[in-house]
Amino acid sequence: MNAFSYRAPETLEEALTLLHEHGEDAKILAGGTALIIMMKQRLVLPDVLISLDRVRGLDFVAQEDGVLRLGGLLTHRAAELASPVRTRVPVLADTYHHVATIRIRNMATVAGSLAHADPNQDPPATLLALDAQVRLTSMQGQRDVALADFFTDYYETIMQPDELLTEVRVPLPQPHTGSAYCKFLPRSADDYATVGVAATVRVNPATGACEDCRIAMGSVGVTPLRAPAAENLLRGQQRTDALLQEAAAAAQQVTDPISDTRGSADYKRAMAGVFVRRALAQAWQQALASV
């Protein structure tokens, strides 16, 4: 690894000051499970490394006004085990549980994985399907941004060099909502998915028809992708196999995967269809079971 200046601020304010001072020359180190690899490979060469290891108070889990708030420095493992996450948004606990290995989950943070913006990760898809927001904080103040507007390209986001992702905000699902995250892992259990699909479906308790839904896919584009046309097909409709097929085909239209060791582009697109169907079927079933 190349040399850098290591800074370990004690407070968020100090961290933001350092970030303001060093901007693009600095990188934030949270869990480090992605950044350290990129630094070893010399893909990222920061002059200043700002470690958040000593910053306290950013690993909270709270519920407030219908929003589940996750502090940016909460680890995947802590998020997976936190009782409000398990009871109120179980699909999110399940998604964090299926990230990589226990060693990675013990270190990787909820903010770090989003700021890293690798489209092959699991949590972004689920958080997109949950309509989550991220809170970006700088010395100038803070802004909340929909995750749907956050990712711009491979490893790229709308974050400014002086901003820190301090909180993930997840609206608590409305009654009669089901959700699922389905991850296709043809190689090993700790691998990135060939495709990962998250879906939420809210049903009309009287009719069982879909009132609202969201579909998000990972590993099949330069960012995690929503499938709005597929979602529109489902709203107001009763569940049938033909409808799920149609929605899966519409979702496939927005994918633009690359061929790699996890499958050819064609194969990934085909599997995206299969997994959209499965995730929708599971989410819809769960919603109906809640009626």
In the bound state with another protein, the residue whose beta carbon lies nearer, of 188 and 240, is 188
Burial class of 17 by CB neighbour count within 10 A (0 to 12, 13 to 18, 19+)? middle
Residue 74 in contact with another protein, rule: CB under 8 A: no
C-alpha 59, offset from chain centre: 17
Kindly state whether residue 22 participates in binding another protein, applying the rule CB under 8 A.
Answer: no
Interatomic CA distance for residues 183 and 60, integer angstroms: 27
Give the interface segment with another protein, choosing from 3-11, 56-64, 223-231, 247-255 (CB under 8 A). Answer: 3-11
Q: Which is nearer to another protein, 77 or 269 (CB)?
A: 77
167 token code pair:
């909180």
Contacting residue, 43, 102, 146, 209, with another protein by CB under 8 A: 102
Interface characters, 53-72, with another protein (x: CB under 8 A): x-------------------
185 binds another protein (CB under 8 A): no
Strands (E) across 46-131 are located at: 48-51, 61-64, 67-71
What's the min distance (Å) between Cβ of 49 and another protein?
8
Site for another protein in 142-181 (CB under 8 A): none
11 binds another protein (CB under 8 A): no
3 binds another protein (CB under 8 A): yes
Compare residues 104 and 222 and give the one whose CB is closer to another protein. 104
Give phi and psi for 149, each to the nearest 5.
-105, 5
By beta-carbon proximity to another protein, the closer residue of 8 and 274 is 8
Q: Is 10 in the site for another protein (CB under 8 A)?
A: no
- Contact between 93 and another protein by CB under 8 A: the answer reads no
The answer to whether 180 and 282 are in contact (CB under 8 A) is yes
Collapsing DSSP states into helix, strand and coil, what is residue 290?
A: coil
What lies within 8 Å, CB to CB, of 91 at 6+ separation is 126, 129, 130, 179, 180, 181, 198, 200
Least distance (Å) from another protein to the CB of residue 42?
Answer: 12
Locate tokens 């259990």: which residue? 189
Among 44, 67, 104, 254, indicate the residue that binds another protein (CB under 8 A). Answer: 104
Instruction: Check binding of 36 to another protein (CB under 8 A).
Output: yes
Three-class DSSP labels, 112-169: HHHHHCCCCCCHHHHHHHCCCEEEEEECCEEEEEEHHHCEEECCEECCCCCCEEEEEE
Q: Which is nearer to another protein, 106 or 259 (CB)?
A: 106
Closer residue to another protein, CB minimum distance, 6 or 154? 6
Q: Least distance to another protein from the beta carbon of 187, Å?
A: 12
131 vs 152: CA distance, rounded Å? 17
Work out how close the CB of 182 gets to another protein at its nearest, in angstroms, rounded to a whole number: 18
Tell me the number of residues near another protein by CB under 8 A: 28
Contact 197, 214 (CB under 8 A): no
Smaller CB separation from another protein, 75 or 133: 75
Q: What angle do CA 247, 173, 214 make, to 5 degrees?
A: 20
Query: In angstroms, rounded to a whole number, what is the distance separating the alpha carbons of residues 82 and 77?
Result: 9
Q: Which residues bind another protein (CB under 8 A)?
A: 1-6, 8, 29, 32-33, 36-37, 39-40, 49, 51, 53, 77, 100-104, 106-107, 188-190
